[in-house]
């Protein structure tokens, strides 16, 4: 999505189900785009349920009605008969029982090919949205059936940023990607030789341990020594010997074969930032998340931390979806919105879309399905860069957020970091929770609540829980086996003795004290809460 996002999830990691927003559909003015869509909905419900049909509806393109993907008004496509292999899937959704596919109701196991046009019109250029527009589209969009379209304008040599290879528009230019990979991390590892520094026996306790707090990985990057090594191997072809890596005083040391001396220290550093970058962001609500998200994530350290250099040409594409009006605001930087010349339709249609049509601004309002694209020239001397005209004046981390304050307080905040490249990676600034009204904020009740976690079938039910400061959590064992409640964050809460079942419970409920989540760099998190991993020592 944003290769130079410090907190971008790695889609090659095990357990990743997909991305939010979905895959970027990218082309340029003059292209025809064919999207081969297959419905792979595997929800546990009746295969013939109309709630499982899906579609793709685009913004920005020009298309015929059959390619609209808008239920229930898109007519059958005369060029796409239902093949025998898909007949059973389509039988339950075509009404009357037709023989032609309809792109507004693609069933599980069914396919549809959408054809979208630009006709060479510069008016199609920009950043747009695509999303499910079939039955239950609101729920499906909230679950991630949404993505971003980028239509490049080759005529706009002032604002356009295209990081694709000129001879292969389906691939990004490795020279503009972190470590040459679209899935790379902006962070790599360098090994500084130590020449066999002796260690003490207790230093071996850190073998295989994850990086300490403040190291990259606690806010969305690699989260273990193994994952750090994987990112380093992508970039330099050098991988630490994991069985010999120990963490001592915040340093990751690689030991000799006898585990007696340290041969080198592995230091995370930033890759050289790109000369140009495309940053795409979706401001929306996500099903099951009671916060405001950017690209499906909330709060600094999780939301995008976008990396750029001292002279990076930065193209931003910002899209909104949901029920709310947002503003995009980035500290220190400024921009103008490009648009057409002329005042009549004919002149507008033929215009290269390069004239500034907005005032000089650092905040812009946008709403549901609204989108905008603009470019910030980060080169020294540019009036759009942060800090000032001198080369080093833009260096550092700059706030980037929705300026609807309630939205920002609910997680819709990220940051933009300007670096030289090669600097040592260290913990970024962290905020503190905002406590008001006795520890509760917004419309949360002031009185403490009691929550219950059931231990049954060797599982905690529910498996995770968010509580307010002052709330009580009661653990009840409904198994025939004994269980315990142990906290992996040592010393924060006491571990329990064995709890016999069925019906056994802790002698006293656990009380949630104020505690800042180290994985959440929010400047003002509205509700302090524990995010402490729980394990069961009796069943380990």
The pLDDT score that the predictor gives to residue 415 is 96
The pLDDT score that the predictor gives to residue 149 is 98
Lowest mean pLDDT: which of 23-27, 301-305, 379-383? 301-305
pLDDT band at 508 (very low <50, low <70, confident <90, very high): low
| Nearest of 399, 396, 503, 516 to residue 455 by alpha carbon | 503
In order of 247, 248, 291, 351, the CA distances from 221 in angstroms are 18, 21, 21, 43
**Mean pLDDT, residues 452-475:** 79
**Mean pLDDT, residues 139-156:** 94
Lowest mean pLDDT: which of 45-49, 111-115, 145-149, 455-459? 45-49
Q: Which domains does the chain have, with CATH numbers?
A: 25-156 (2.60.40.420), 187-270 (no CATH), 441-521+528-540 (2.60.40.420)
Q: Give the three-state DSSP class for 65.
A: helix
Give the C-alpha separation, 102 to 91, whole Å.
Answer: 12
Give the C-alpha separation, 378 to 394, whole Å.
Answer: 8
Whether 153 shows a pLDDT value over 80: the answer reads yes
Give the C-alpha separation, 336 to 159, whole Å.
Answer: 10
Q: Count CA within 13 A, CB hemisphere, residue 530.
A: 21
pLDDT band at 350 (very low <50, low <70, confident <90, very high): confident
Whether 358 shows a pLDDT value over 50: the answer reads yes
Tell me the range of 370-374, 439-443, 486-490 where mean pLDDT is highest.
370-374
Give the C-alpha separation, 324 to 96, whole Å.
Answer: 38
Report whether the peptide linkage leading into residue 124 is cis, meaning its omega lies within 30 degrees of zero: no
φ/ψ bin of 217: left (φ > 0), alpha (ψ from -120 to 50), beta (otherwise): left
| Nearest of 133, 123, 148, 205 to residue 26 by alpha carbon | 148
In this structure, what are the phi and psi dihedrals at residue 67, rounded to the nearest 5 degrees? -100, 10
Dihedral angle sign, alpha carbons of residues 61, 64, 67, 72: positive
In this structure, what are the phi and psi dihedrals at residue 350, rounded to the nearest 5 degrees? -90, -5
Whether 453 shows a pLDDT value over 60: the answer reads yes
**Mean pLDDT, residues 188-216:** 76
Whether the CB-CB separation of 537 and 486 falls below 8 Å is answered with yes
**Mean pLDDT, residues 143-172:** 93
Tens digits of residue pLDDT in 268-311? 899 999 999 999 999 999 888 888 999 999 999 889 999 999 99
Tens digits of residue pLDDT in 519-535? 444 443 333 333 445 54
Token pair of 320, please?
Answer: 């909104």
pLDDT band at 466 (very low <50, low <70, confident <90, very high): confident
β-pair partners for 313? 276, 377
User: What angle is formed at CA 177 by the lines to CA 176 and CA 181, rounded to 5 degrees?
Assistant: 140
Token pair of 98, please?
Answer: 């037709």
The pLDDT score that the predictor gives to residue 439 is 41
| Nearest of 277, 382, 391 to residue 335 by alpha carbon | 382
């Amino acid at each position: 999505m944003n290769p130079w996002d410090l907190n971008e999830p790695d889609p090659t990691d095990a357990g990743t189900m997909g991305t939010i927003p979905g895959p970027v559909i990218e082309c340029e003015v003059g292209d025809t785009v064919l999207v081969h869509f297959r419905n792979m909905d595997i929800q546990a419900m009746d295969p013939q349920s109309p709630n499982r049909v899906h579609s793709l509806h685009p913004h920005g393109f020009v298309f015929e009605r059959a390619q609209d993907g808008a239920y229930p008004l898109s007519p059958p496509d005369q060029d796409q008969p239902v093949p025998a292999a898909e007949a059973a899937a389509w039988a339950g959704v075509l009404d009357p029982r037709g023989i032609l596919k309809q792109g507004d109701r693609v069933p599980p196991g069914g396919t549809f090919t959408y054809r979208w046009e630009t006709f060479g019109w510069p008016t199609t250029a920009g950043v747009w949205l695509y999303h499910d527009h079939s039955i239950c589209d609101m729920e499906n969009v909230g679950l991630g059936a949404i993505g971003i379209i980028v239509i490049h304008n080759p005529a706009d040599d002032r604002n356009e940023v295209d990081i694709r290879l000129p001879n292969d528009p389906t691939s990004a230019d490795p020279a503009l990607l972190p470590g040459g990979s679209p899935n790379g991390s902006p962070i790599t590892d360098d090994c500084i030789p130590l020449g066999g520094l002796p260690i003490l026996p207790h230093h071996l306790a850190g073998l295989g341990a994850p990086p300490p707090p403040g190291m990259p990985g606690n806010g969305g990057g690699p989260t273990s020594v193994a994952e750090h090594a994987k990112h380093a191997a992508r970039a330099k072809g050098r991988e630490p010997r994991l069985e010999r890596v120990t963490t001592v005083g915040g340093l990751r040391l690689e030991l000799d074969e006898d585990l007696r001396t340290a041969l080198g220290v592995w230091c995370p550093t930033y890759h050289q930032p790109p000369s140009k970058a495309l940053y795409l962001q979706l401001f929306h609500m996500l099903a099951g998340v009671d916060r405001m998200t950017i690209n499906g994530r909330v709060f600094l350290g999780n939301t995008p931390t976008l990396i750029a250099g001292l002279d990076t040409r930065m193209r931003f594409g910002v899209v909104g979806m949901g029920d709310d009006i947002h503003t995009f605001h980035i500290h220190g930087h400024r921009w103008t919105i490009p648009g057409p010349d002329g005042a009549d339709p004919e002149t507008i249609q033929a215009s290269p879309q390069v004239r500034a049509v907005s005032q000089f601004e650092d905040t812009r309002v946008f709403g549901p399905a609204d989108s905008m694209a603009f470019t910030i020239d980060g080169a020294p001397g540019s009036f759009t860069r942060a800090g000032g005209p001198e080369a080093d004046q833009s260096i550092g981390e700059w706030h980037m957020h929705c300026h609807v304050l309630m939205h920002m307080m609910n997680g819709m905040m990220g940051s933009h970091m300007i670096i030289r490249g090669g600097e040592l990676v260290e913990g970024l600034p962290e905020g503190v929770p905002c406590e008001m009204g006795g520890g509760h904020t917004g419309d949360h009740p002031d009185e403490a609540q009691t929550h219950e976690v059931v231990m049954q079938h060797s599982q905690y039910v529910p498996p995770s829980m968010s509580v307010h400061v002052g709330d009580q959590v009661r653990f009840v064992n409904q198994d025939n086996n004994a269980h315990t409640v142990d906290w992996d964050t040592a010393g924060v809460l006491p571990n329990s003795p064995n709890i016999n079942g069925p019906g056994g419970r802790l002698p006293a409920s656990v009380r949630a004290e104020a505690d800042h989540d180290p994985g959440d760099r929010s400047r003002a998190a509205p509700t302090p809460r524990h995010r402490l991993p729980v394990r069961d020592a009796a069943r380990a």
